[in-house]
A and B are shown apart, each in its own frame.
Chain A
Amino acid sequence: MSTKDIVYIALFAAVTAAVGLFPPFPLPVTGVPISVQSIGPLLAGTILGARRGFLSQLLFVVLVAVGLPLLAGGRGGFGVFLGPSAGYLLAWPLIALFVGYMVERYWRNLTLLKTIAFSLIGALGISNLMGIPWMAALLGLNLVEAAISSLAFVPGDIAKAILASFIAMAVRCSYPIIEREKAPAT
């Protein structure tokens, strides 16, 4: 891994943290906050690709675990990993991994619609696949009840997936990061 890779990884961990400065809206009843921060893993995946995207989000999770108040609303520390939103947070590295893998795979003929589709699978599919069972186990709900209570996130997740895709496609045109490896310098 080159120095550049490490710097990019650190950068997107920091970008994810910086997005958290926007205040979140805690949902009534389940208390899992809706925040713009979960756009972080989508941006990391679509802009950096699978490997670096994954590592950047893993780095972010480590920074939260060591006690830095980087999550939206200033939350951080070990307690977060016992809270209702821990499943969603731990999904971030995997979301970046998946979205990054798909974007790299289809890089040559990537379209906005494809990027949106990959982001939606990440933001809705993978995120809920980990978030819902965790919340259900913690609150003693069954999976259907937990799934219903997470419906409130869906509009926000769709908006974030579309937004991240617009940004990623623009970066792909103006300052591509993935391409440099796809087309080795001659």
Chain B
Amino acid sequence: MSLGNYVHRESPIHRMPAGSKVLILVIGGTALFLVPDLLIMITILAATIVLYRVARIPMGIMVAQVRPIVWIFVLIFVFQLFTRDVAFAGMVVSRFVALLLLASLVTLTTPASEMIDAIERRIGWMRVIGVNPAKISLGLSLALRFIPVVAKITSEVREAQRARGLEWSVIAVALPVIIRTLKMADDVANAIDARGYDP
């Protein structure tokens, strides 16, 4: 799947199973809150940057993960500076940056399709609480398939409404799109049932 934030490289981090990466992220992320110490936090931040080197993610992409919310870090830093001290402010911000970079690293090194496979392999237990895992899988794959379809139908309807001068009327575009896609959904559901789908 080409869609996604995934950056393909050959690295041990890319080869790790998706489930393990998420588990490590959750445990590591929680652990970050247990060490309120500036020095340790900066070490962890440095280690995170090393992990990006190991995953062979270019520096530019790493910086791009943080850039959109740099001003938040500034805001938090200034705020903590006034309420606590420099060491604490530095600790809070470096913890936040480390956390964000770690979370992004998982996303950058795992294709979305692999992540979905990992989810599908782990939802078998849900049968116990009356949820059919096969239906969740069907929902996930259908949603992925529908995104380009909905986008295509939207552009078709806009083209049709342009002929009527209604290209920019939100309702004149949205309504036909919704009704056409609902009809399509009915056809898809009937087609699935007609093929004897019974998970």
Which A residues fall within an 8 A CB radius of B? 1-4, 6-11, 13-15, 17-18, 21, 29, 31, 43, 47, 55, 59-60, 62-63, 66-70, 75-79, 81-84, 138-141, 163, 166-167, 170-171, 174-175, 177
Contacts and interface: CB of A to CB of B under 8 A. Distances in A.
A70 B186 CA distance: 24
Nearest to B80: A140
B185 A167 contact: no
5 contacts: A7-B192, A15-B150, A67-B115, A78-B25, A82-B99
Contact of B75 (A8, A62, A140): A140
Interface in B93-139: 96, 99-100, 103-104, 106-108, 110-112, 115-116, 119, 132, 135, 138-139
Nearest to A55: B139
Contact of A77 (B5, B135, B149): B5
Most buried by A among B25, B151, B175, B178: B178
A83 B68 CA distance: 10
B63 to A, nearest CB: 13
Given A9-B139, A11-B181, A14-B150, A67 B175 contact: no
Nearest to A168: B178
A63 B154 CA distance: 21
A166 B169 CA distance: 13
Contact of A167 (B80, B99, B111, B171): B171
A139 B174 CA distance: 36
Given A7-B185, A9-B139, A14-B146, A79 B104 contact: yes
* Interface size class of chain B, counting residues whose CB lies under 8 Å from the partner chain: 35 or more
Contact of B76 (A7, A59, A139): A139
A175 B171 contact: no
A67 B3 CA distance: 9
Given A3-B197, A68-B112, A59 B143 contact: yes
Given A1-B135, A14-B147, A76-B5, A59 B175 contact: no
A15 B107 contact: no
B35 interface: no
Given A14-B149, A139-B79, A78 B107 contact: yes
Among B139, B154, B189, find the residue whose CB has the most chain A CB atoms closer than 10 A. Answer: B139
A136 to B, nearest CB: 11
B150 A18 contact: yes
B84 to A, nearest CB: 10
A78 B189 contact: no
B100 A79 contact: yes
A163 B143 contact: no
B162 interface: no
Interface centre among B4, B107, B144, B154 (most CB of A within 10 A): B107
Given A77-B104, A171-B178, A171-B179, A7 B142 contact: yes
B182 interface: yes
B39 interface: no
